[in-house]
Amino acid sequence: GLGLVQGDKTMLEQLINKADGMIPDEDKYMPDHWQELVDALAAAKDVMADGDAMEEDIQPVAEALLNAILAQRFKADKSILDDLINKAEGINLDGYTAESVATFRTALANAQAVMADNSLSEDDQATVDDAVAALTAAMDGLTAGGAPETTDKPEATDKPETSQKPEATQKPENKVPQTGDNSGLMLWLTAGLASLGGAVSVFLKKKRQ
């Protein structure tokens, strides 16, 4: 033979394994450079399968595959945002103040826009986290006191007042003799007897005349 030595494919094999592990998770990666990875992986596998591949054959494809792997960016993690939006969309907004509902709707619309933005990578995670924080705060900030509640409140407060007032005024009148201590009761009886005695004596005087 010519004494040519096959190139070392150890690094290439490791890179292929790494790239192969990424392929099933395509939906987690940004689409921008994904095709580069697919193409570089295919080229690397061709060289890997070539038993006669020399170092100068291996080096370029290994480098291309490494660069393609490094170029990949995870999409921003929107799992929490997704769950939160689903919860928010299920909230019945009846009975909350207009102001708190307006804040909530703004935060929800922003969260939905962030959710739909496929250009956000892991580098933009703060944008997603901010949307989560704003929507969470808006959900917590929903304040009771909308139209249905304010119309009920006067009725609720009027009823006890009107029903209690007559009772409150009647009770003392009916129960004067029974309220207070014994001395109060004695005073009442004495006063009653005195007036009764006075009336009897006047009556008797008139009769005598």
In order along its 209 residues, the chain shows pLDDT tens digits of: 345 567 899 999 999 999 999 999 999 999 999 999 999 999 999 999 999 999 999 999 999 999 999 999 999 999 999 999 999 999 999 999 999 999 999 999 999 999 999 999 999 999 999 999 999 999 999 999 845 444 444 444 444 444 444 444 444 444 444 444 455 555 555 555 555 555 545 555 555 55
The answer for residues whose C-beta is within 8 angstroms of residue 96's C-beta and 6 or more apart is 104, 142, 143, 144, 145, 146
CA distance readout (Å), 134 to 81, 160, 192: 11, 42, 76
Please state, in angstroms and rounded to a whole number, the distance separating the CA atoms of residues 90 and 178: 60
> Is the whole model's pTM more than 0.75, yes or no?
no
Cβ atoms of 61 and 12 closer than 8 Å:
yes
Q: Which residues pair with 96 in a beta bridge?
A: 144
**Could you tell me which of 205, 3, 31, 185 has the C-alpha nearest to residue 121?**
31
CA distance readout (Å), 120 to 70, 112, 131, 185: 17, 13, 13, 86
The residue assigned the tokens 């209690």 is: 164
Q: What would the two tokens of residue 144 be?
A: 């009771």
71: Cα separation from own chain's centroid? 35
